[in-house]
Amino acid sequence: MKKIIFSGLLLLILLAMLLSFSSCGEAKEKVVLNVYNWGEYISDGSEGSLDVNRAFEKYYLETYGVEMTVNYTTYASNEDLYAKLKSGATGYDIIIPSDYMIQRMIEDEDGNLLEELDFSNIPNYRYIAEHCKGLGYDPEEKYTVPYTYGMVGVIYNSTMVDEEDASTWELLFNEKYKGQILQFNNSRDAFGTAMYMLGIDVNTTDMTKWNAALQKLVEQKPLVQSYVMDEIYNKMEGGEAAISAYYAGDYLSMAENNPDLRFFYPVNENGEYVTNIFVDAMCIPKGSSNKLAAERYINFMLSKEAAIANAEYIYYASPNSLVYEDADYQEYMGEEGMALLYPDDMDFALVYDTYAYENLDSKMLQEVNNLWEKLKVESSTLGSGVYIACGVLVVALIAFFIVSYVKKIRRRRYYW
């Protein structure tokens, strides 16, 4: 009896699958848009927020009479995205890489990976703040529409760190906080912390300067608790670590869970901001099967409701004037949030031009990766206990085999 019920169920499932497939074929027109974005980087309907992708599907059907499905997937880093595109994955219609990666995609050795945008389909581009337009990665404003921007700062736990230590990059290299410091687990950002502190241009091609930064990171290694990316959330919120450099927007969401956390943008001796600004921008990669729909998607993302929903969800600064000039949005972010994300006393263009990452050519990238490799494989604070235990065991094993072999031979002599 059980078997009959079971097979009946299986049949039902099969039937249901068949039906759902056939119903796909019935719709007269249907467009699929493949959006590839960072994780946690869009308002997705959780906690009562607006589900931007579903809203776009609805908007598309109402405006153009075409059924739209947004197929949304995520990646963890710019490098992942690049590796995916280069490995021949096609069919993505929208990607949102960071500035230096956009530059790398445009200048790619196998030809430009990005499509030129038709801005007549993106009228909302006019709302983008002037200072976010025509930046180094896309000076002619041909390929990109800024999505968010932000700055790297230092987060620290006020119960574990002295206030007076917290104003410069030195904090990440301070011996006092040995074992409580988190460092980025990606080469560019980790080297960035050392280079900003040493006053080195992060885009330099001078290897002696890169080596100086490596030296600093090697010295820092014994102080570092762990090299992490997303784990920073748990470790900082839980009080496991005291200090880490991370993005301002992420600090705001961490501070909600741990009120002891504080944040500052590192400054130099003149009190000027010395830190990385990044811009993440929407692009259409070559091989997009529906460029028009993709441009409409970009335009939709700049519309007021969607842009505010995203900005409130992500907590990063928005380049969209419809967002940052909106009173409700300002109230939602609070005074501290607004001051952090849109600092008045910062000259955006100056900081961006001086400190933002630019693409390194493939030879330089190789060199930097080699240095990072050196840091990561450098024999660290790891105790020798593992090797000793291993050695003892190996010796014991060998002794055991020799003894049993000798015994075996003796026994043979005895029996024969």
Partner 1 sequence: MKKRSLLGKAPAAPYLVWSVLFIIAPLLFVAYYAFTDKDGNFTTANFGSLATAEYAEIFLRSACFAFLATVICLVIAYPVAYYISKTQPRTQKILMVLVMLPMWMNFLIRTYSWMAILEDTGLLNTALSYIGLGPYHMINTSGAVILGMVYNFLPYMILPIYTSLSKLDPRLVEASADLGCNSARTLFHVILPLSRSGVISGITMVFVPSISTFYISQKLGGGKFDLIGDTIERQFQTAYNYNLGSAISFVLMILIILSMTVMNRFGEEEGGMVA
203 binds partner 1 (CB under 8 A): no
Of 187, 194, 184, nearest in space to 226 by CA: 184
DSSP 83-143: HHHHTT-----EE--BHHHHHHHHT-TT---BPPP-GGG-GGGGGB-GGGSS-TTSTTS-S
Asked if 386 interacts with partner 1 (CB under 8 A), we say yes
The separation between CA 257 and the C-alpha centre of its own chain, rounded to angstroms, equals: 21
User: Rounded to an integer, what distance in angstroms lies between the CA atom of residue 20 and that of residue 18?
Assistant: 5
Binding to partner 1 by CB under 8 A, coded x per residue (else -) over 114-153, reads ----------------------------------------
Extended strands (E) in 134-276: 145-157, 181-184, 224-228, 243-247, 261-264
The answer to whether residue 94 forms part of the interface with partner 1 (CB under 8 A) is: no
> For residue 151, what are the β-bridge partners?
277
User: Smaller CB distance to partner 1: residue 176 or 411?
Assistant: 411
The reply on whether position 382 binds partner 1 by CB under 8 A is yes
Which DSSP category does 75 fall into?
E
Check binding of 49 to partner 1 (CB under 8 A).
no
In the block, tokens 């574990």 appear at 160
What is the distance in angstroms between the CA of the first residue and the CA of the last residue of the chain?
64
- Per-residue DSSP letter, 284: -
- Interface residue with partner 1 among 9, 11, 17, 83 (CB under 8 A) is 83
**Smallest Cα–Cα separation from 236: which of 270, 263, 264?**
263
CB of residue 17 vs partner 1: minimum separation in angstroms? 22
Residue 226 lies near partner 1 (rule: CB under 8 A): yes
Cβ neighbours around 407 below 10 Å, total: 10
Among 130, 162, 206, 373, binds partner 1 (CB under 8 A): 373
Q: Which of 38, 60, 82, 315 binds partner 1 (CB under 8 A)?
A: 82
Work out how close the CB of 325 gets to partner 1 at its nearest, in angstroms, rounded to a whole number: 38
- Count the residues of the shown chain that bind partner 1, applying the rule CB under 8 A: 44
Binding of partner 1 by 240 (CB under 8 A):
yes
Task: Name which of residues 330 to 349 contact partner 1 (CB under 8 A).
Answer: none
If we measure between CA atoms, which residue out of 60, 62, 112, 67 comes closest to residue 85? 112
Amino acid at 25: G
* Beta carbon of residue 11, minimum distance to partner 1 (angstroms, whole number): 24
Instruction: Out of 49, 121, 186, 258, name the contact with partner 1 by CB under 8 A.
Output: 186
Q: Is 74 in the site for partner 1 (CB under 8 A)?
A: no
378 binds partner 1 (CB under 8 A): yes
Nearer to partner 1, 82 or 92 (CB): 82
Which one, 264 or 372, has the nearer CB to partner 1? Answer: 372
d(CA 195, CA 191): 6
Minimum CB distance to partner 1, residue 386 (Å)? 5
Residues at the contact surface with partner 1, assessed by CB under 8 A: 77, 79-80, 82-83, 86, 185-187, 221, 224-228, 231, 234-235, 238-240, 362, 365-366, 369, 372-374, 376-383, 385-387, 389-390, 393-394, 408
